Each structure stands twice: as structure tokens, then as C-alpha cells.
Chains A and B, each alone.
Chain A
Amino acid sequence: MIVQSILHVVVLVLIVIGAALAVWFKDLLSSVLALAAASLLVSLEFYMLQAPDVAIAEAAIGAALTTAIYVIAIRRTARKEEE
């Protein structure tokens, strides 16, 4: 039981770190990849909370499809954030 609690805390801290990195990066491609990593960790957290149904949907939509659409949009526009 204590191991599960520690695992929950570790995953939640990593989610916050990933989201903060997505805001902090000036390179937009790195920012999108940090967002994808945070989304994948959210999916892992859903699985650990015994909602595998939501975890599959989150992994497919959040980690794969939005990343693909962001990558297409970045390729057509500027990659670096302007100051």
C-alpha cells in the first residue's frame, strides 16, 4: 500500500514537471514533446487509478493525435517562440 502511494506521488510530480517544461521551453517542438510526455503520464495515472478505459483514450488522443496536429502546425509556422 505504501509503495502504491509513493508511485502515485512520483507520477504526479512528473506530470507537474512535464507541464511546467511545456510552458518554459522556447523551442516549440520541445514544448509539444513535453506536453506529450505529461499526457502519457496522465494516462499512466488513470491506469493506476483502475480506469483503463480512460487511459486508452487519453493515450491515443492526448499523447498521439494532438502531438501530430501540433507537429504539423509547427512545421508550417515558426519553430522558435518570439520574444
Chain B
Amino acid sequence: MNNNSMSVIVRTVTRFMYGLIILFGFYVIMHGHLTPGGGFQGGAVVASAFALLLVAFGSAGLKGQLNLHWLQSIEEFGALAFLGLAFLGIGTAFFYNLFANSGGFLFGASVPTGSNAGVLTAGGLVPLMNWAVGLKVMTGIAAVVIVMLVGSHKEETE
């Protein structure tokens, strides 16, 4: 066993669990306008799966799958998408929800009055902004953990 990865128990449990954790994180982001949680919480859950992979397999587990430049690009895309969506309704007001109740196109469904189970395709810009924040948070925190791992590794070899 090299110094970089952990024991076989940790690696086996990680292989079973990381897909489920990523799936749960995307579920939290996707249902952000209906259930507790949202972009930040779901992104943090997905990033914790990345952190689990990095701790269990070390920097050798990256294998070029999680490129730092790609992560930074996705993070910047998330921030710019959030700002762009906020500027879409600038004709009325900043953060004006342009797509709500627009009728079917993209999260434009109307919500019936009274108690209901929640409409997944309603909400207008809110689900899209949840996705933008989720992308930014998951890639940003994953980049922080990767820099922590790779940077400390470089210092050791010098």
C-alpha cells in the first residue's frame, strides 16, 4: 500500500457509496424549490463525495478525471449563469422572475391553489438559479480539496 491511499475497507465502502452520495446531491439540487435544501446544500453534498474519493484513493485516484482547469471553468460558468439569469428580468427589476407562470416552456407551469404535493416544473428562474449555484459550489469545494491534496504532495517531494 502506498502512502497516498487508505485501507481496503475505506476504499471498498467508498466504491459503494460515492455514486449514491452524488445522486442524492443532484436530487437535493433538482428539488431545491420544493423540499428543504437547494443549490448550496446539494452542491456541498456532491463535493463531499468528491472529497471522499480524494481521501480514500489519494491524488492517484484522480487519473485526470477531475481536472483543476475544468473545475475552475465550470465554477466561473456557474457564477456567470447566476448573474446572467438575475439580469434577464432587468426590464422590471433585478432578480425579477421572468419565467414564472409563463406556461410550460421551462419551469413555467402554474401551481394550483390549495394544498398540493408541489409541481416540479414550476418556479420559473428559481430551479435554474439552484443549478447554477449547485455547479459553482460543488466544483469550488472540490477544487479546494484538490489544491489541499496536490499542494501538500508537492511540498513533500521537494
Interface residues of A (CB under 8 A from B): 52-53, 56-57, 60-61, 64-65, 68-69, 71-73, 75-76
Contacts and interface: CB of A to CB of B under 8 A. Distances in A.
A72 B145 contact: yes
How many residues of B sit at the interface, in one of the four size bands? 20 to 34
B55 A52 contact: no
Given A68-B145, A69-B148, A72-B55, A61 B36 contact: no
The B interface is mostly helix, strand or loop, or mixed, namely helix
A5 to B, nearest CB: 24
Contacts of B126: none
The A interface is mostly helix, strand or loop, or mixed, namely helix
Nearest to B43: A60
Interface of B: 3, 28, 36-38, 40-41, 44-45, 47-48, 51-52, 54-55, 141, 144-145, 148-149, 152-153, 155-156
Contact of A65 (B28, B44, B153): B44
A69 B52 contact: no
B52 A64 contact: yes
B36 A68 contact: no
Given A52-B36, A57-B41, A64-B48, 6 more contacts: A56-B44, A56-B45, A60-B48, A69-B148, A71-B55, A75-B3
A56 B52 contact: no
B8 to A, nearest CB: 17
Contacts of B55: 68, 71-72
